[in-house]
Each structure stands twice: as C-alpha cells, then as structure tokens.
Amino acid sequence: MIKTTRRFISEAKWKGRTDDNVVILLLCRCLCAFAGGLIWYPGPLQAERFYASALLASLPVFGFFAALTARRTYGGTLSDPGGNPPVVVTVKGQHLRIDLNLVAEIAGLAGVILAVALYRF
C-alpha cells in the first residue's frame, strides 16, 4: 500500500522507499487513466479494448510479484522500520510473515480476474 502522509514522505529512514512509492503512485494513476479511457471510449473493438485495459490494470500487480520474488537479490523488504509489522501466521510449525501489501496485491489480482470472468461469461 502506498502511504502519502507528510510523516511517511519526510521520514529519513524511509526516504528510498517513499521516493519509490511516489513514482509508483504517479505511474499507476496515469496507467489507470489510460485504461479507463480505453474502456469508456466509444467505438469499435470493444472486447479488445476491455482485455487491453485488464492487462494494463494487472501490470502493477505482476510488477509487485516480480519484485517480491526477487527481493532477496536487492535487499528489498515489505515492511519499514516503525511501520506496520507483518502478521505472523504459523502453518504446520513454519512461521509465515504476511504483509498488508501482499494481501492488497492478491485482492487486486482477484478483482481483475473477477472483472474478466464477469465480462467473458
């Protein structure tokens, strides 16, 4: 999740993460505006424009999962010091750290899949 409060953006410990989040926020909003225009613009190729919009809407989610799987290579984290701690769930004796970012991205992907399924069927 992208936090945009003044404290979060000005926090020195989180400077790299907040700069990244501001860029992500700007690019995602531009992408969403373009995808929305594809859907609402009247004209031919309605189905193709819908699927292109669904693909555009899912790109940030796929980017998140790519960064998630590669985070050990660049030292990335899902949590910030002093931020929201992940929820620790124990499954068969193994501790899983579940961050709210992961939950939000899974929900976003489920929303895109649901929208495509409703449109298709």
DSSP codes of every residue in 74-99: HT--SS-TTSPPPEEEEETTEEEEE-
More confident call, 24 vs 104: 104
The winner for highest mean pLDDT among 5-9, 88-92, 98-102 is: 88-92
Global pTM reads 0.66
3-state secondary structure of 96: strand
In which element (H, E) is residue 20 found? helix 15-40
Whether residue 80 contacts residue 86, with contact meaning beta carbons closer than 8 Å, is answered with: no
Encode pLDDT of 22-61 as tens digits: 677 778 788 888 888 888 888 899 889 999 989 988 888 8
Q: Is 89 exposed, middle or buried (0-12, 13-18, 19+ CB in 10 A)?
A: exposed
Judge contact between 115 and 54, C-beta under 8 A: yes
Task: Report domain extents, the chain.
Answer: 6-120
Cα gap 45→40, rounded to integer Å: 12
What is the chain's mean pLDDT, rounded? 79
| pLDDT tops 90 at residue 117 | yes
- Over residues 56-78, the pLDDT tens digits come to 888 888 888 888 888 778 677 77
Please determine, for residue 9, whether its predicted confidence score (pLDDT) is greater than 70: no
Beta bridge partners of 95: 90
13 or 24: which leads in pLDDT:
24
Roughly what angle, to the nearest 10 degrees, separates helices 46-74 and 15-40?
170
The pLDDT, as a whole number, for residue 21 is: 65
